[in-house]
C-alpha cells in the first residue's frame, strides 16, 4: 500500500472502527501517516540499533548494525521498508510527511557515522577513513539488497550484501593501527573467501 495509501477510511475499514473514531484519534490523514512512520522508526531502533550497541565499540558494533539491518530487510521482503518506499513516494513532495521521514533516515545515518568514527578511534579502521563516504557505501549495499531481494526476488541477495560489506570494511581497515582479525559476516563465511 505504501505511506500514500494510508487514509482515515482505509484504517477504519481494516480496524472496524468508524471514520469519525479514527479521525478523532489522529486528526488528519497526514498525522496518521506521520504516526505510522514514527512507529516504524521506533521498531527499527529497537530491532537494529539497541541490540547493536550492546556489542563492543568500534568494528564489532558497526558489524552488528549492518547485520541487524540485513536481518530487518530480510523480514520485510514482502512488506517493504518504509524508509526506502517512502523516499520514492515523497522525494519530490515537500511537507510534514516527507520531513518526518527524511529526519528519521538522517538520524539513522548519523548513528552509522558515529559507529564508523568509533571504529576509527579504536584503530579498527584507518585514520583517513571518511565516515560519510563509508556510510554512503554501506547504505548503498542495503538499497541494492532491498532492490534485489524484494523486486527481483534474488535468493542470493543477502549473501552478496554481506560479502560486499566485508569488502568495504577490508578496504578501510587496510593499514589501520589496530586492525581486528578478519571475521566474515555470518552468511559470507560460507561463501567464497574475499581477497584481503
The stretch 96-110 carries a mean pLDDT of: 93
Portion of the chain with pLDDT greater than 90, in percent? 55
Select the more confidently predicted residue: 30 or 110.
110
Determine the pLDDT at residue 88.
82
Cell numbers standing for residue 151:
523486486
Portion of the chain with pLDDT greater than 70, in percent? 79
Among 79-88, 161-170, 174-183, the range scoring the smallest mean pLDDT is: 174-183
pLDDT tens, residue by residue, 13-59 = 655 666 676 666 667 778 888 888 888 899 999 999 999 999 999 99
Q: Which of 65, 58, 46, 61 is nearest to 126 (CA)?
A: 58
Q: Is the dihedral of CA 41, 46, 47, 52 positive or negative?
A: positive
**Domains of the chain and any CATH numbers:** 8-12+21-190 (1.10.357.10)
Reported residue count of the chain is 196
Determine the pLDDT at residue 180.
77
The stretch 121-140 carries a mean pLDDT of: 97
Buried-state track 105-123, b at ≥16 Cβ within 10 A, e below 16: beebeebbbebbbbbbebb
The stretch 175-185 carries a mean pLDDT of: 74
Determine the pLDDT at residue 89.
86
Residue 142 has pLDDT above 80, yes or no: yes
Cell numbers standing for residue 7:
487514509
Determine the pLDDT at residue 29.
78
Residue 63 has pLDDT above 60, yes or no: yes
Determine the pLDDT at residue 178.
80
Amino acid at each position: 500500500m505504501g505511506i500514500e495509501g494510508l487514509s482515515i477510511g482505509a484504517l477504519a475499514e481494516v480496524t472496524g472502527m468508524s471514520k469519525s473514531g479514527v479521525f478523532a484519534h489522529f486528526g488528519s490523514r497526514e498525522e496518521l501517516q506521520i504516526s505510522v512512520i514514527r512507529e516504524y522508526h521506533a521498531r527499527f531502533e529497537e530491532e537494529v540499533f539497541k541490540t547493536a550497541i550492546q556489542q563492543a565499540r568500534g568494528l564489532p558494533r558497526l558489524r552488528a548494525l549492518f547485520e541487524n539491518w540485513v536481518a530487518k530487510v530480510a523480514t520485510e521482503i514482502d512488506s517493504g521498508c518504509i524508509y526506502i518506499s517512502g523516499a520514492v513516494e515523497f522525494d519530490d513532495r515537500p511537507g510534514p510527511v516527507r520531513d518526518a521521514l527524511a529526519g528519521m533516515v538522517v538520524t539513522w545515518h548519523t548513528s552509522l557515522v558515529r559507529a564508523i568514527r568509533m571504529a576509527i578511534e579504536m584503530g579498527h579502521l584507518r585514520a583517513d577513513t571518511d565516515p560519510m563516504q563509508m556510510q554512503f557505501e554501506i547504505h548503498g549495499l542495503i538499497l541494492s539488497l532491498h532492490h534485489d531481494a524484494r523486486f527481483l526476488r534474488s535468493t542470493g541477495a543477502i549473501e552478496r550484501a554481506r560479502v560486499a560489506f566485508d569488502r568495504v570494511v577490508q578496504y578501510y581497515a587496510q593499514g589501520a593501527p589496530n586492525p581486528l582479525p578478519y571475521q566474515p559476516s555470518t552468511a559470507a563465511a560460507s561463501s567464497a573467501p574475499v581477497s584481503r
